[in-house]
Chain A
Amino acid sequence: DIDDVGHKYHLELVLEDVLDKDSTVNCTAEVLYHLGNKNIAPAVQFTIEGELKNTDEADNIFYSRIKSLEKELVAENIPDSHGSVSPEMEPIRLLAQVASGYVIWQNSTENTKFQLAQIKHVKQVKRSDDCLEFDYMILLHEMVSQEIIPWQMTVLWHPQHGVQVTQDSCQPKHALE
């Protein structure tokens, strides 16, 4: 407890590569939830022990594949009702997972626990520069209230420039039905 400021948590955690369970990295972090204004994202500082795996090869394969598509990519329900994700859509899902991490961080309080539940819809947006742009409609699952919250996010990505969420907004619940 920090008087008049908020609650600070000190964490020691292990990061595990989603694609390679044996690849782990230790991490320490400090998270500060602000008192009062709940509209500010918690402040996060972290240190990683060692290096994260190099993903250049996979990044380039994905980048080339999307760049060489004749028509802009469009897809829905990833994973589908049965939990299936086609191999071509796997990077699209991973990208959503990273981008939703940002959205989740921006909207987290001490009383929320968000997970990405599903990509309802994703549409590639044509760009004149080198970046790839995707307009996602995702569903976030909030564990404490058990609500499913539709959320729109615009995601930019480039193998060298990383991921950026340029726009995101919570959608009304009946956007689903």
Chain B
Amino acid sequence: HQVLRIKTRNEEEVQKLQLLESLEHLELDFWINPSTPALPVDVRIPANSVQAVKAFLESHGIEYSILIEDLQVVLDKEKQDMAYNQQRDRSSNSFNYGTYHSLDSIYAELDHLASEYSNIVSKLQIGESYEKRPLYVLKFSTGGSNRPAIWIDAGIHSREWVTQASAIWIAKKIASDYGKDPSLTSLLNKMDVFLLTVSNPDGYVFTHTTNRMWRKTRSRNQGSRCVGVDPNRNWDAGFGGPGASNNPCSDSYRGPSANSEVEVKSVVNFIKNHGNIRAFLTLHSYSQLLMYPYGYKCTEPADYAELDALGRAAASSIQSLYGTTFTVGNICNTIYQASGGSIDWSYDYGIKYSFAFELRDTGRYGFLLPASQIIPTAEETWLGLKKIMEHVRDNPY
């Protein structure tokens, strides 16, 4: 079967095509019917009628082109592609990084990575969520004892799906690039990396089962029928100040007290107990921003010059891949004043290299970023993270 596109020049030609339309024995399937000379006419023609139709068009001097030479070939390929993708998804050796996954599916992949790359990857549990789901961190290490380390987290706000999706891709990237990429290899030979791919598992499950736009944790608020606390207003940094709400029904509710959320407390405990974390990097979406402290106040941090320069270098790396531009600056001036944020806490705790990323896009799809953009987003984000990590490796403090 062929699909032709016919360009009509005037009403007369349109009428001739409408005549053709009426000839039922030809079994023509018009994808765009002849109606006005302004629009093309697309028609699928069964093999038997192809010669006759072309002869008709040519004898009347009507212009046409072949849109699809052989429709069966196209359909066969599509069927093949779909079967292949389905197989890739189901086979235990293949996780499709280019699609969004359930929590269970992500957790299964964490186990798979820890097993496949057991020489450098191990899985730790740092706590439990409000609804008792495990909080799993992947540790990337080539040995040593309590080496200086880099912390990366994603999905603290559950609706920001491209962050959890990018994090699992980044996990795979780190694991598989060790021994192949000189820079990453030298980094892992000196430092460890800790990656929390789903910081807010209760929220993440809720976005799958009930409300795709859920942002907060799922903790019960005493005296209110509203659920959840904004985990990125709950850290002990300017807590209670402007830039967070004290209304439990608000999407930026800070919570009854700093670290009230177990999801936050677990990370704080881990970082404090480890004692040698040198960088704290957190992934959010959307807006395409790369920010350093502070959010709770609009003054520059002491290390402003270095952080700004490093941020710009990272943004430049991100841009080099697909042209995606990130705006660099401190949280307060770049996005809005926000108190109780994670990188403000980590910076004031002494972790100099504290950065927050807001990934794609800038609002066209927002939280509902098409799955086709997951891998490009992860790839470019990785370049930015790597730039920062290399600087941390080369500038011990």
Contacts and interface: CB of A to CB of B under 8 A. Distances in A.
A38 interface: no
Contacts of B230: 146
Nearest to B210: A177
Contacts, number: 69
B251 interface: yes
Nearest to B365: A83
A69 interface: no
A18 interface: yes
B373 to A, nearest CB: 8
A81 B363 contact: no
Interface residues of B, number: 35
A148 B251 contact: yes
Interface string A80-106: 111110000000000000000000000
Contact of A147 (B38, B39, B100, B251): B251
Interface string B366-377: 111111110000
Contacts of B39: 57, 60-61
A145 B35 contact: no
B226 to A, nearest CB: 9
Interface string A44-84: 00000000000011001100100000000000000111111
Given A18-B364, A146-B230, A84 B213 contact: no
A26 interface: no
A95 B257 CA distance: 44
A64 B41 CA distance: 14
B34 to A, nearest CB: 12
Q: For chain B, what secondary structure do more than half of its interface residues adopt (helix, strand, loop), or is it mixed?
A: loop
A41 to B, nearest CB: 20
A141 interface: yes
B251 A146 contact: yes
Given A61-B39, A64-B35, A177-B210, A146 B368 contact: no
A2 interface: no
Contacts of A82: 99-100, 368, 370-371
Give the interface size bracket for A toward B. 20 to 34
B215 interface: yes
B100 A81 contact: yes
B38 A57 contact: yes
A119 to B, nearest CB: 10
Interface string A132-152: 000000010101111110000
B211 interface: yes
B158 to A, nearest CB: 12
A145 B249 CA distance: 12
B288 to A, nearest CB: 13
Interface of A: 18, 56-57, 60-61, 64, 79-84, 115-118, 139, 141, 143-148, 173, 176-177
15 contacts: A18-B364, A57-B38, A79-B370, A81-B207, A81-B212, A82-B99, A83-B365, A83-B370, A83-B372, A84-B370, A84-B371, A141-B367, A145-B245, A147-B251, A177-B210
